[in-house]
C-alpha cells in the first residue's frame, strides 16, 4: 500500500498497540534469526533495525563534492551505541509537504532532546531516489537507515504499519513502545513531553488543569525552554515585559481571506491604541503551514509572533473558528474568549472588551434598534415608495 502525505500520524487500533508492546526480541527472531548473535541486546527494541550500523550525517560536509560520502562511511554508528536511549524512528520523505513542514519543528526539538544525553532519532526515508534522500538528509542532525538498505526500510514500515507520513515512533530505553503518535506529541508539547512516558503525559495533563485554575500570561506563553517572544525585527521580548498589559492572542491563518481582512482592522486598532499609549499588545499565533506565507505576514504586522505552544494554545482555548482574538487581562486572566466580531463591527470602540464595555455597546445597539421606524427602514433618498404586485 503506497504512502500518502498526511499532516498527522495515523492512530492505530488497540490491537496493534498491544502487538507492538510485545517483547521486541521475539519479533527480532521472527524477522531475522541469524543476526541475533551479533546484536546481543536482550530485549532491546533496536534489534529490529536488522543491520549492525546506521549512518550519521557529518555536519555541512555535503558542500564538498565527494567528502560527504567518504565521511559517512567513516562515521557509521553501531546500533549498540543506542542501547538504553529513547529513540525516535522518523518516517519521512522530501516529496511530502507535511514532512517538510514538520521536520524543522522536529530539528529544533531534537537539539534540546539530544543534549539530554539519552535521546536519538533515526530517519527512515521513503524518498524515491538516493539523491533526494541525500538532499533531505542533509537538513537533519540525526541518524538514518542507509537508503541502499531498502530491506530494512521496508520492514520497519511494515512493522509499524506506517500508512501516512510524517510518522514518528518513540521507543523507550527498555525496548517498549512509548508512542506511535510522536508527530502529534512534538507538535503539541515539544521537549516538554520528554521522556514521552505515560506518566509524563499524565503529568502534563494535570499541569494543564492546574494552569487553567491559576492562569497567568506565563502559564500561557512560557515553556521550560523559552520565556520570550521574538518580534518581527528579530529582537527578543521577554514574556515578563508584557505582563501587566492587556494582551490579545490572535489565532489566524493568512491564506483565508477573512483573516487577511481582519488582520488589517486589527493592525489599525492596535496602532490607534498605541497612539493613545494604552498598555496593549497582540501576540500572533499563526496556524500557517507554509513557512513563506508566515514570513510574509510577519513583514506587514507589528505583532509579537508566538513560535511555540501553538497547538497547546489552540487546544487550551478550544479553538473552533478563525480568526479568533482571545483577550487576556492585565492580571493574566481571560477577559473574553473571542472578540473578533466585536473588533470587526466596532473597532476601537469595543476596547477594553470588559463585560461592562460590552454591555455598554449592547445598550447602544438596543437604543439604535428602538429608534428605527418603518420610514427609516424603507425610505432611501428620494425613493419613498415600495413596489406592489400587478393587479
3-state secondary structure 105-137: HHHHHHHHHHHCCCEEEEEEECCCCHHHHHHHH
pLDDT, mean of residues 85-112: 93
pLDDT at 111 over 50: yes
pLDDT score recorded for residue 382: 61
- 250/173 same-domain check: no
- 26/77 same-domain check: yes
250 grid coordinates? 490572535
| pLDDT tens string 352-371 | 999 999 899 888 888 877 77
pLDDT at 73 over 50: no
pLDDT at 72 over 70: no
What's phi and psi for 344, nearest 5 deg? -60, -40
Beta strands in the chain (DSSP E): 4-5, 53-56, 76-78, 86-92, 119-125, 143-144, 164-165, 167-171, 177-179, 228-230, 236-238, 246-252, 280-286, 304-305, 324-328, 334-336
Residue 379's pLDDT band (cuts 50, 70, 90): low
Q: Considering the chain, what is the average pLDDT of its residues?
A: 78
- 145/221 same-domain check: no
- 311/364 same-domain check: yes
> Is position 390 within any domain?
no
Nearest to 357 by CA among 215, 246, 218: 246
pLDDT score recorded for residue 164: 93
What is the distance, to the nearest Å, from the Cα of residue 4 to the centroid of all Cα atoms in its chain? 20
Domain termination site, one of 167, 201, 235: 201
pLDDT score recorded for residue 307: 72
- Number of structural domains found in the chain: 2
Q: What is the pTM of this model?
A: 0.58
Domain containing residue 75: 4-201
pLDDT, mean of residues 291-316: 80
Residue 376's pLDDT band (cuts 50, 70, 90): low
Residue 306's pLDDT band (cuts 50, 70, 90): confident
> Is position 351 within any domain?
yes
> Is position 358 within any domain?
yes
- 8/128 same-domain check: yes
For cell 494582551, name the residue: 247
Residue 76's pLDDT band (cuts 50, 70, 90): low
- 197/258 same-domain check: no
Q: Which of 49-58, 283-292, 372-381 has the lowest mean pLDDT?
A: 49-58
> Is position 40 within any domain?
yes
Q: Residue 61 class from Cβ within 10 Å (0-12 exposed, 13-18 middle, 19+ buried)?
A: middle
What is the distance, to the nearest Å, from the Cα of residue 186 to the centroid of all Cα atoms in its chain? 7
- 73/197 same-domain check: yes
For cell 542533509, name the residue: 138
Q: 125-145 burial, b for 16+ CB within 10 Å, e for fewer?
A: bbbeeeeebbebbeebebbbb
Q: Which of 31-40, 63-72, 256-265, 363-372 has the lowest mean pLDDT?
A: 31-40
pLDDT score recorded for residue 17: 35
Rounded distance, CA 372 to CA 377, Å?
A: 7
Rounded distance, CA 98 to CA 43, Å?
A: 34
> Is position 381 within any domain?
no
229: left (phi over 0), alpha (psi -120 to 50) or beta: beta
Q: Residue 309 class from Cβ within 10 Å (0-12 exposed, 13-18 middle, 19+ buried)?
A: buried
Please name the helix (run of DSSP H) or strand (run of DSSP E) that holds residue 40, with its range, or none: none
pLDDT score recorded for residue 318: 86
- 62/169 same-domain check: yes
CATH number of the domain bearing residue 126: 3.40.30.10
pLDDT score recorded for residue 65: 43
pLDDT score recorded for residue 113: 94
Bond before 326 cis per omega within 30 degrees = no
Residue 250, strand partner residues: 284, 325
Nearest to 144 by CA among 160, 158, 127: 127
> Is position 311 within any domain?
yes
Q: Is 336:352 a contact under the CB 8 Å cutoff? A: no
Q: Is 306:221 a contact under the CB 8 Å cutoff? A: yes
Residue 250's pLDDT band (cuts 50, 70, 90): very high
- 285/140 same-domain check: no
Domain termination site, one of 151, 177, 201: 201
Domain termination site, one of 166, 201, 236: 201
Bond before 274 cis per omega within 30 degrees = no
- 282/363 same-domain check: yes
| pLDDT tens string 179-232 | 999 998 998 888 889 999 999 999 988 988 888 889 999 989 988 778 899 887
Kindly state the percentage of the chain with pLDDT values over 70. Answer: 73
pLDDT at 242 over 90: yes
> Is position 207 within any domain?
no
Residue 245's pLDDT band (cuts 50, 70, 90): very high
pLDDT score recorded for residue 114: 93
pLDDT score recorded for residue 45: 44
pLDDT score recorded for residue 388: 54
pLDDT, mean of residues 361-390: 67
Radius of gyration of the chain (CA): 27
pLDDT score recorded for residue 391: 54
pLDDT at 297 over 70: yes
| pLDDT tens string 19-61 | 333 333 323 333 332 323 222 332 344 444 444 555 554 444 4
Bond before 166 cis per omega within 30 degrees = yes
> Is position 236 within any domain?
yes
pLDDT score recorded for residue 208: 82
- 147/254 same-domain check: no
- 113/181 same-domain check: yes
Q: How long a stretch of residues is the chain?
A: 391
DSSP one-letter code for 328: E
Amino acid at each position: 500500500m503506497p504512502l500518502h502525505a498526511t499532516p498527522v500520524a495515523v492512530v492505530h487500533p488497540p490491537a496493534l498497540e498491544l502487538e507492538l508492546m510485545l517483547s521486541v526480541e521475539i519479533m527480532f527472531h521472527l524477522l531475522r534469526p541469524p543476526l541475533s548473535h551479533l546484536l546481543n541486546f536482550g530485549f532491546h527494541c533496536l534489534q529490529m533495525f536488522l543491520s549492525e550500523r546506521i549512518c550519521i550525517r557529518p555536519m555541512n560536509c555535503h558542500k564538498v563534492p565527494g567528502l560527504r560520502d567518504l565521511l559517512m562511511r567513516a562515521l557509521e554508528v553501531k546500533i549498540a551505541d543506542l542501547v538504553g536511549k529513547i529513540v525516535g524512528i522518523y518516517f519521512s520523505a522530501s516529496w511530502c509537504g507535511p514532512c517538510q513542514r514538520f521536520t524543522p519543528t522536529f530539528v529544533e526539538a531534537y537539539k534540546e532532546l539530544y543534549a539530554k544525553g539519552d535521546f536519538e532519532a533515526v530517519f527512515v526515508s521513503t524518498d524515491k531516489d538516493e539523491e533526494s534522500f541525500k538532499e533531505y538528509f542533509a537538513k537533519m542532525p540525526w541518524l538514518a537507515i542507509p537508503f541502499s538498505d531498502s530491506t530494512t526500510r521496508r520492514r520497519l514500515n511494515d512493522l509499524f504499519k506506517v500508512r501516512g507520513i510524517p510518522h514518528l515512533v518513540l521507543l523507550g530505553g527498555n525496548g517498549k513502545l512509548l508512542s506511535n503518535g510522536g508527530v502529534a506529541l512534538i507538535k503539541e508539547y515539544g521537549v516538554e513531553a520528554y521522556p514521552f512516558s505515560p506518566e509524563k503525559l499524565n503529568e502534563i495533563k494535570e499541569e494543564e488543569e492546574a494552569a487553567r485554575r491559576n492562569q497567568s500570561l506565563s502559564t500561557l506563553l512560557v515553556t521550560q525552554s523559552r520565556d520570550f517572544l521574538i518580534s518581527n525585527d528579530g529582537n527578543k521580548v521577554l514574556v515578563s515585559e508584557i505582563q501587566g498589559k492587556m494582551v490579545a492572542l490572535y489565532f489566524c491563518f493568512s491564506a483565508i481571506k477573512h483573516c487577511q481582512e481582519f488582520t488589517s482592522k486589527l493592525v489599525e486598532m492596535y496602532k490607534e491604541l498605541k497612539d493613545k499609549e494604552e498598555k496593549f499588545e497582540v501576540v500572533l499565533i499563526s496556524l500557517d503551514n507554509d513557512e513563506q506565507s508566515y514570513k510574509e505576514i510577519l513583514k506587514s504586522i507589528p505583532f509579537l509572533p508566538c513560535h511555540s505552544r501553538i497547538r497547546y494554545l489552540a487546544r487550551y482555548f478550544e479553538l473552533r473558528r478563525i480568526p479568533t482574538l482571545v483577550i487576556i487581562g492585565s492580571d493574566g486572566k481571560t477577559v473574553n474568549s473571542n472578540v473578533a466580531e466585536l473588533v470587526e463591527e466596532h473597532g476601537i470602540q469595543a476596547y477594553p472588551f470588559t463585560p461592562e464595555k460590552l454591555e455598554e455597546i449592547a445598550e447602544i445597539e438596543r437604543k439604535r434598534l428602538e429608534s428605527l421606524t418603518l420610514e427609516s427602514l424603507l425610505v432611501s433618498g428620494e425613493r419613498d415608495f415600495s413596489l406592489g404586485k400587478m393587479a
